[in-house]
Amino acid sequence: MSRPITSSPRRLTIRDVAKAAGVSLTTVSHALNDRGVVDPVTRARVKQVAADLGYRPNVRAQRLRSGSANSIALVSSMPFAVSGGVSRLGFMMEVAGIAAEAAMRRGLALVFVPPLEDAQAFLEGLDIDGAILLEPMTHDPNVRLLQERGVALVSIGRQGGGADSLPFVDLQSTATAHLLLNHLWEQGRRRIALVQSSAVRDSYASHKKAYENFATAHAMPLRYMQVEESLGEAGGQEACAKLLARYPDIDALCVPVDAFAVGALRAVQQAGLRVPQDVMIATRYDGLRARTAEPSLTAVDLHLEQVATLAVELLFEHLSGDKSRMSVLGPKPELRARASTQRDA
């Protein structure tokens, strides 16, 4: 990787290379870009002269010529209250780290679009070829916006709502819901409540449906409450407090959104009950919130490394014009049992 360093702050141009090599601008351009008809010896000499001078091509001009931005974006449609939080080390950042690596190995830059209110205006001005959307809603404004611009899209988690869903990595949300519910049942719980986001996302719908089927199969009464995502931890706390007051027989809370689960923990403790002895709590994303809660929360390892890599691969296929795969099965979710659901604690 060593190369001569120019002492001048002026940026070298193709003119400098042409002058030093004693050839025309066109010859330099063709030689460096392996285009046109250039004698192989001349081509090699021009490349050597360019290397000796320390010439670097103008990246932006190249981008415009190639018609490609060589950039993809990672976009969340979750409100900040859920996807951000005190430590900001959530689901999205875990995916971002891996996706950036996978993208880079294919020569693509990953632009990280944080979950903020004004993300939409920002997205409009973003020069990208493709984007990965995290669990988009059924009618996600970001999806429409990017589709109109001709940006290739894939989603992590199916975009619900029917036939025209995006190519996606299947997060296996029903399997995740069953893992949590079966675990709570095996721990002896018979009055399991579900506290879920009111947003229209496929994973939420899958969880709810799995819960209803589970309740029917086990003749368990339904204890269900919806929370608005933008309310974050406080919203989860309030909803759980209400549920516990209304149904004092609840012995377990299945709270897939981790921000809500932290709120659930507070609600149980403020009601003078103990976790896990009186009420067990389980959540979905095995992140910092679940691991550092007191007691630590049982969660599900979604194998986000693999998920993120699969998403970049799928997007890369679609960007390259290969649209044969409209979905990819994600890795099998695995339960991570922790103190919050420990029997005989």
> Letter for the amino acid at 223?
R
Out of 110, 261, 268, 307, point to the residue binding its own copies (CB under 8 A): 110
Closest residue by Cα to residue 264 from 278, 210, 186, 218: 278
Residue 71 engages its own copies in binding (rule: CB under 8 A): yes
Residue 11 engages its own copies in binding (rule: CB under 8 A): yes
Please, which residue, 148 or 344, has the CB nearer to its own copies? 148
Map the footprint of its own copies across residues 126-165, applying CB under 8 A. 126-127, 141, 144, 148-150
Out of 51, 64, 326, 329, point to the residue binding its own copies (CB under 8 A): 64
Applying CB under 8 A, the site for its own copies has a residue count of 56
* Secondary structure class of 154 (helix, strand, coil): strand
Out of 37, 41, 118, 164, point to the residue binding its own copies (CB under 8 A): 118
Please, which residue, 93 or 264, has the CB nearer to its own copies? 93
Out of 15, 56, 242, 246, point to the residue binding its own copies (CB under 8 A): 56
By residue count, the chain amounts to 345
Residue 305 engages its own copies in binding (rule: CB under 8 A): yes
Residue 48 engages its own copies in binding (rule: CB under 8 A): no
Angstrom distance (rounded) from CA 277 to CA 100? 42
Sheet containing 298-301: give its strands across: 224-227, 192-197, 252-254, 280-285, 298-301, 334-336
Please, which residue, 6 or 277, has the CB nearer to its own copies? 6
- Buried/exposed 312-343: b ≥16 CB within 10 Å, e otherwise: bbbbbbbbeeeeeeeebebbebebbebbbbbe
Check: CB of residue 260 under 8 Å from CB of residue 288.
no
- Buried/exposed 73-85: b ≥16 CB within 10 Å, e otherwise: bbbbbbbbbbbbb
Out of 19, 63, 208, 266, point to the residue binding its own copies (CB under 8 A): 63
Residue 186: Cβ within 10 Å count? 11
> Letter for the amino acid at 104?
M
Out of 13, 42, 70, 306, point to the residue binding its own copies (CB under 8 A): 70
For the bound state, the minimum distance from the C-beta of residue 344 to its own copies, rounded and expressed in Å, comes to: 22
Pick the stretch among 3-11, 169-177, 231-239, 251-259 that binds its own copies (CB under 8 A).
3-11
Pick the stretch among 91-99, 196-204, 218-226, 266-274 that binds its own copies (CB under 8 A).
91-99
In degrees rounded to 5, what are phi and psi of residue 256?
A: -55, -40
**Which residues partner with 156 through β-bridges?**
134, 169
* Secondary structure class of 77 (helix, strand, coil): coil
Please, which residue, 38 or 119, has the CB nearer to its own copies? 119
**Which residues make up the interface to its own copies (CB under 8 A)?**
1, 5-6, 9, 11, 54, 56, 59-61, 63-64, 69-71, 73, 84, 87-89, 92-94, 96-98, 100-101, 104-105, 107, 109-114, 116, 118-120, 122, 124-127, 141, 144, 148-150, 287-288, 291-292, 305
